[in-house]
Copies of this chain bind each other. A is one copy, B any other.
Amino acid sequence: MIPMREPTYFVLAALLAGPLHGYAIIKRAEEMSGGRVRLATGTLYTALDRLTADGYIRLVSEEMVAGRMRRSYGLTDAGSAALRAEAQRMAEAARLVTGEETVPRPSRLGRKARTA
């Protein structure tokens, strides 16, 4: 599944912090992208079906709210791996043009030995 289109990428990215339902994914993607990425509903719901069929996300809950189903989806391990692989690919492609290097941001938790 390489490469991924932007809407698909943001659907997965929106789920990084935990499961969300459809409409919340649209809002989260918009927020993450600084307002730039606005998932159309037609894109979102077909993407949810496709990503579920591909095993990248899975339905984690179905609750009835105001007489309507609210379905929440979460990343699977495969989806998380695919998302990270895609981020890696984009970073490398971008580097070809920007001439910049990426350095790991120092995390104060679980600091590892710096591999210079």
Contact of A101 among B83, B96, B97, B102 (CB under 8 A): B102
CB distance from A69 to the nearest CB of B (A): 29
Among the interface residues A88, A91, A103, which one has the most CB atoms of the partner chain B within 10 A?
Answer: A91
Contact of A90 among B90, B101, B104, B107 (CB under 8 A): B90
Cβ-closest chain B residue relative to A100: B102
Q: Say yes or no: A6-B3 contact (C-beta < 8 A), given A84-B98, A100-B102.
A: yes
What 0/1 pattern do residues 1 to 13 of A give for CB contact below 8 A with B?
0010110011001
B96 and A91 within 8 A (CB) = no
Would you list 15 pairs from A and B whose C-beta atoms are within 8 A, ordered by A residue? Answer: A6-B93, A13-B93, A16-B96, A32-B96, A84-B97, A84-B98, A87-B96, A90-B91, A90-B94, A91-B94, A94-B94, A99-B107, A101-B105, A102-B102, A103-B103
Interface residues of A (CB under 8 A from B): 3, 5-6, 9-10, 13, 16, 32-33, 83-84, 86-88, 90-91, 93-105, 107
